[in-house]
Amino acid sequence: AEVNKITWLQEKQQELLDMERKAAAPELQLIKNEFSLLQRELVQLLNKNENAPPEQKLDILEFDLDEKNRNFLLNEAATERDNLRRLLEAEIKDCDRLFEVIKSNTWDKMKVKGRCIKVYYL
């Protein structure tokens, strides 16, 4: 005989979830249909705007439905960009400092010894 791997409590919770899904299914389908209609309407408006004369065209940002989220993402990207810029600038300064140390220890200490070349013409 096969042993059931879920407990009685888990089975009851699963039954409750299934009942809630069945009860909410019509409302969920209605929401999905309305969302689909809104998507199609937005695509039609964008296409109409694309084909409109230049003086009647709206800016693409006029069609932005979630301005708050877009602003949040733009601010987050700007912060990340600034942090990366600061990090890269610090790394460049470290490389410049290392270059100066190496240069001062090697290249700057080199001296050219004076030599005299004697040539005999026959």
For 4-22, how does the pLDDT look when each residue is reduced to its tens digit (9 = 90+)?
688 989 999 999 999 999 9
Is the residue at 88 inside a domain? yes
Range of the domain at 10: 1-63
Is the residue at 92 inside a domain? yes
Provide the terminal-to-terminal Cα distance of the chain, rounded to the nearest Å: 115
Q: How many degrees, rounded to 5, is the angle at CA 88 between CA 84 and CA 93?
A: 150
pTM over cut 0.75: no
**Same domain for 47 and 33:** yes
Say how many domains are in the chain. Answer: 2
Is the residue at 116 inside a domain? no
What's residue 72's pLDDT? Answer: 95
**Same domain for 86 and 50:** no
**Same domain for 41 and 27:** yes
What's residue 94's pLDDT? Answer: 98
What's residue 1's pLDDT? Answer: 52
**Same domain for 91 and 72:** yes
User: Six-digit token pair at 77?
Assistant: 């990207």
Is the residue at 30 inside a domain? yes
What's residue 115's pLDDT? Answer: 79
Whole-number Å distance between alpha carbons of 83 and 99: 24
Whole-number Å distance between alpha carbons of 77 and 84: 10
Whole-number Å distance between alpha carbons of 86 and 62: 34
pLDDT digits (tens, 9 = 90+) for 49-95: 899 998 888 888 787 778 899 899 999 999 999 999 999 999 999 99
Is the residue at 120 inside a domain? no
Q: Is 90 exceeded by the pLDDT of residue 112? A: no
**Same domain for 1 and 52:** yes
14 or 118, which is more confident? 14
